[in-house]
Amino acid sequence: MINTINLPMLPKPIKNFTDVFAKLPSLGPRQATRLAFYIAKLGKEKIKEIATAITQLNDLSTCARCFRAHSDEGLAGQGKLCSICSDPTRSKHLVAIVEKETDLISLENTKKFNGWYLVVGELSKLGEFNPEQKLRLNSLKSFAKKELGGKIKEIILAINPTTYGDLSAATLKKELAEYAEKITRLGRGIPTGGEIEFADEDTLSNALERRF
Amino acid sequence: MINTINLPMLPKPIKNFTDVFAKLPSLGPRQATRLAFYIAKLGKEKIKEIATAITQLNDLSTCARCFRAHSDEGLAGQGKLCSICSDPTRSKHLVAIVEKETDLISLENTKKFNGWYLVVGELSKLGEFNPEQKLRLNSLKSFAKKELGGKIKEIILAINPTTYGDLSAATLKKELAEYAEKITRLGRGIPTGGEIEFADEDTLSNALERRF
């Protein structure tokens, strides 16, 4: 396959778009080039709409407790809490650590979780935390100390059940051991609605081990 | 799988971004939501750079003959020809019809094609041409009439070798029959560097049929 980047044939605005978008997740250089030509054909109005959709991402606030990007009304601005963290009906003694907002949203959609979250950011495959992640974990620790008398009742490590996820979970567990009475992970087994016949060996082994 | 569109949980700027980007090719709603959160975290400077990369797509011109989007220097502006169409060393008697610019670029990269192109746009699966496509085909016909005495020596239908591509090619062939001495398509067979063992049956049947 020929790489479409660095081609003299590529018009400059297309090349520039490709360079910028190919660095984003879920788009390779080929897809980015295709997308550029596609958008170019949509015309001035539509191009403005797309650019505005991007610029508006500046309007998001970051929650001071869970660090998720939000635009909850009346709660914008740094240092303010989001609608989840400021909800008095939710338990402060149960926290789920997620890597990213989309994981949080999936959990929230179950309507089965009544604690709060910590969005820690995508974890390195080397099992180390970057400065921003350290800051977020420290914020969790000091919340436990100041507001919960030292220990959170339960921390759920809602990290993907992959090899790297297991590694990250182990590191997190060590890091947070003294700040929680219990540290758990999400259950593993055959996905609901799935078929045993099509489950891979690892999934099936886990399902056997965790039978109930 | 839960669809992330229409979730009350989604912050407004993220939802708006998702709505706009999920309509573009190669991005589903889930990927768009992820991308939105990712871009939001990049910060003001980077967000501006990305928005600008989109806005700059307005600067592209459309060639009056081949209809490709280009930014060839000194050749901008409507009614002007692009660098390929205005190149006197290229044959006017050979034209390749492609669906999109990225196909044109791949052909151009072979450095084996010395004719010109017609970018006809992505063809409908119903085998019909939209008004813009009719306009482009008419432009080709009138070029053949005015500049080449009625018939182009050869039209190559450089359309994907898929079921729909075959259908489109048949429709194009009928449409253009009286304007060309010869209408051809790209060769079919085992991709160079590929292995017979891994070629699918259709490819292999075509390769057998077209052996040389």
Whether pLDDT at A182 is above 90: yes
Is residue B70 a contact partner of residue B82, using CB atoms and an 8 Å limit?
Answer: yes
Whether pLDDT at A60 is above 60: yes
Interchain CB contact of B112 with A (< 8 Å): no
pLDDT at residue number A88? 94
Query: Which one is predicted more confidently, A6 or A101?
Result: A101
* Cβ contacts of A105 on chain B, cutoff 8 Å: 4, 7, 9-10, 33
Per-residue burial over B66-97, b if 16 or more Cβ lie within 10 Å, else e, is bbbbbbbeeeeeeebbbebbeeeebebbbbbb
- Return phi, psi of residue A155, to 5°: -110, 120
pLDDT at residue number B189? 87
List all residues of chain B from 45 to 64 with a beta carbon under 8 Å from chain A: 47-60
List all residues of chain A from 78 to 107 with a beta carbon under 8 Å from chain B: 100-102, 105-106
Secondary structure of A4-39 in the HEC alphabet?
CCCCCCCCHHHHHHHHHHHCCCCCCHHHHHHHHHHH
**Confidence category of residue A211, pLDDT binned at 50, 70, 90:** confident
Angle in degrees, CA B156, B199, B157, rounded to 5:
10
Q: In this complex, do B109 and A9 lie within 8 Å of one another by their Cβ atoms?
A: yes
pLDDT at residue number B3? 41
Residue B210 has, within 13 A of its CA and on its CB side, a CA count of: 12
Ordered structural domains, chain B, with CATH: 12-58 (1.10.8.420), 61-185 (3.40.1360.10)
Predicted confidence pLDDT, tens digits, chain B (212 residues): 344 434 557 899 999 999 999 999 888 898 999 999 999 999 999 999 999 999 999 999 999 999 999 988 765 444 589 999 999 999 999 999 999 999 999 888 888 899 999 999 999 988 889 999 999 999 999 999 999 999 999 999 999 988 889 999 999 999 999 999 999 999 888 888 888 888 888 888 888 888 77
Is residue A92 a contact partner of residue A116, using CB atoms and an 8 Å limit?
Answer: yes
Question: CA A14, A16, A22, A26 torsion: positive or negative?
Answer: negative
pTM of the model: 0.79
Provide the token pair at B101.
């610019």
* Cβ contacts of B58 on chain A, cutoff 8 Å: 44, 47
d(CA B102, CA A6): 14
Over residues A145-165, mean pLDDT: 93
pLDDT at residue number A5? 40
pLDDT digits over A6-31, tens only? Answer: 455 789 999 999 999 999 988 889 89
- Return phi, psi of residue A126, to 5°: -90, 0
